[in-house]
Amino acid sequence: MGTESPLTMYARVAEVSVEKYTESTVAQRNDVVALEEPLEIVLLAYQKRAPVRIPVAITMRTPGDDKHLSLGLLFAEGIISSMDDVTRVEEAAANTRDKPFTTAITVYLKDHVPVDPASFARQFPSTSSCGICGRLELPDIRTRESSQAGPSVKTSLLYTLPAKARQRQTLFQHTGGIHSAALFDSEGNLMMVAEDIGRHNALDKLIGRALVNGTLLSDAMLLLSGRVSYELMQKAIAARIRCVFAIGAPSSLAVELACTYDVTLIGFLKENRFNVYAGKQRILPT
């Protein structure tokens, strides 16, 4: 399950020439790096029963899972609330002179979904490092609070999660330059992994895939490969995830959000240690 076909892997990495240095030698070798290419996300919505094409964002990402990435981003931004808001999702090449994007994703909304084209007039950019940058306001995540208590987890089980996720991080094993977001059930079984050069993109891909599959995220546990920023915590809360674990450190605002919305937040999770920043009631001693 942790392997990909050569064709799939080739589409997500690039071969480069590098000079490898050791204490005594310098050698020229070929190496692989993670691809980073632009993706255009477009809405097809209805205004007064007439279809309107609305450019939403241009994001730099690792190719693959583009439909899930688009749906996850739209969900986290509060534009859609479920797959009931979506008619279909189309993917098309957009290699034209005036729009040199590798891929364009168009999400067709049902006519009952309210969308104001003026709110996208700024056509905010989204980079692989920051999520959506320069937006004027954040979605109201309070309206998406889950009534679920969330899973409880034993410390002995927590220690096993990073290794389980690494086994499915195929791109990271090849390049060393990829982030991941992994979803576990309450028993510690790995349900799905998403990888991308951007931390936010990886989480958007994971949320989008769960949205399509109808996975109940309030009963799941999220493991992030890097640090936890405000934006990542906001996306997790919008998706009703109650347990957020990370290999890296959380930011102060991420901790504040976790405390405010009763999310269990763990940082520096290794095979033998971790820090609990919020929601310690869900952590059970072994």
What CA–CA distances, in Å, run from 221 to 78, 164, 185, 201, 247? 22, 13, 6, 18, 14
Tokens 């450190």, located at residue: 249
Nearest to 219 by CA among 185, 258, 247: 185
Instruction: Name the catalytic one among 130, 133, 243, 259.
Output: 130
DSSP 8-state secondary structure symbol assigned to residue 176: S
DSSP 8-state secondary structure symbol assigned to residue 84: G
Contact 203, 189 (CB under 8 A): no
Half-sphere exposure of 5 (CA within 13 A, CB side): 3
* Catalytic residue list contains 130: yes
Nearest to 61 by CA among 128, 3, 8: 128
> What are phi and psi for residue 134, nearest 5 degrees?
75, 15
Nearest to 208 by CA among 60, 46, 66, 23: 66
- Strand blocks (E) in the chain: 13-21, 26-34, 37-47, 50-61, 86-95, 100-109, 125-127, 131-132, 153-154, 179-184, 190-196, 221-224, 243-246, 264-267, 275-278, 283-284
Q: Write out the two tokens for 284.
A: 């059970």
Interatomic CA distance for residues 260 and 237, integer angstroms: 11
Question: Residues with catalytic annotation?
Answer: 130
